[in-house]
Structure 1
Amino acid sequence: MQTKVQKYVVATVDEIPPGKRKIVNAGGRSIGVFNVNGEFFALRNRCPHGGAPLCEGVLSGFVQSRDRGNYSYSRKGEILRCPWHQWEFDVKTGQSWFDPVKTRVRTYEAKVEAGCSLAEHAGTEMREGPYIAETFPVSLEKDYIVIEIES
């Protein structure tokens, strides 16, 4: 069976600044799109543990200690905590930190594409005809975040 990939334009790059997120509906799924230091990641907005709206949870990082009294904070904004039971997931991979071998949340590829490239591949079919229309120049100058979902 051949899988079909559907693209969904979910936001402009400036709609989701670094450290922020946007929850969108794409392909009948609720998906959280996260900007982690200028890179975009997309996760299913459903915790695999209890069905909570995962992407509404707190974003944090890791506190690590090599010895007593010496702490460091790393991976800021990369760890998502479920709002119901506090299970933690890696925003970049969907991996669970509670049960990394068996539990993960579905991820989707999130790409940044130029508006003009989206317009070129919009799937419109051009037909010759006796049509006359007044035209105006159009430009798509923003970059857009696109999620790809296999069906």
Structure 2
Amino acid sequence: MRVKAAEPDELSSGGKRIVKVKEMEIGLFRIEDEYYAWLNVCPHAAAPVCAGVIRGTRLPSGVYDYSYGMDDQVLRCPWHGWEFDLKSGRHLAAGSDAKLRGYPVEIDDTGVYIVLGDRKRS
């Protein structure tokens, strides 16, 4: 099942939108020309992680200042500061297995769609 999350080119690079789909909130993020969709639940304490700020090397996080070369690709959870790579969903702390739950995204001339029923594979 595909759910329309945005119009084509509605989000600029570094942009995000949180959409409600089947009683779930999913964050849609655009990094350069790629889109990523993550469930709006932090694996640490179930916080609304997608409501956090997007940072990277240009804006040091103050928590895990070691993510070099990831400008505008680091999502910081608003509750406890856990940071995640927006491309892979992985928590940035060394040795951590924590990861955001993702969904595939499809783009065509009619819009940007989140595909449900098939979790994003790493």
Report TM bin, short chain: 0.7 to 0.9
- Which of 27, 42, 62 aligns to 1:47? It is 42
Radius of gyration: which is bigger?
Answer: 1
8 Å CA contact 2:105–2:114 kept in 1: the answer is yes
Report the number of matched residues.
Answer: 110
CA RMSD of aligned residues (A): 2.0
Query: Which segments of 5 or more consecutive residues in structure 1 lack a partner in the other structure?
Result: 1-5, 64-71, 116-143
Task: State the 1:108 CA deviation.
Answer: 0.8
- Which of 78, 90, 98 aligns to 2:73? It is 78
Q: Which has the higher strand share?
A: 1
1:70-93: CA deviation from partner (whole Å, max 9, x where unpaired): xx9521111101001010111111
What code does the residue aligned with 2:54 have? L
Identical-pair percentage: 35
- Which of 37, 40, 54 aligns to 2:32? It is 37
Question: TM-score, normalised to structure 2's length?
Answer: 0.81
- Would the alpha carbon gap of residues 100 and 88 (structure 1) be closer, same or farther in structure 2, given more than 3 Å must change? farther
8 Å CA contact 2:26–2:38 kept in 1: the answer is yes
Structure 1 stretches (4+) deviating beyond 6 angstroms? none
Q: Which has the higher helix share?
A: 1
Question: TM-score, normalised to structure 1's length?
Answer: 0.66
Counterpart secondary structure, 1:13 = coil
8 Å CA contact 1:62–1:74 kept in 2: the answer is yes
What code does the residue aligned with 2:31 have? V
Tell me whether 1:96 sits opposite 2:63 in the alignment: no
Structure 2 CA distance for aligned equivalents of residues 35 and 13 of structure 1: 11
2:117 corresponding residue in structure 1 = 150
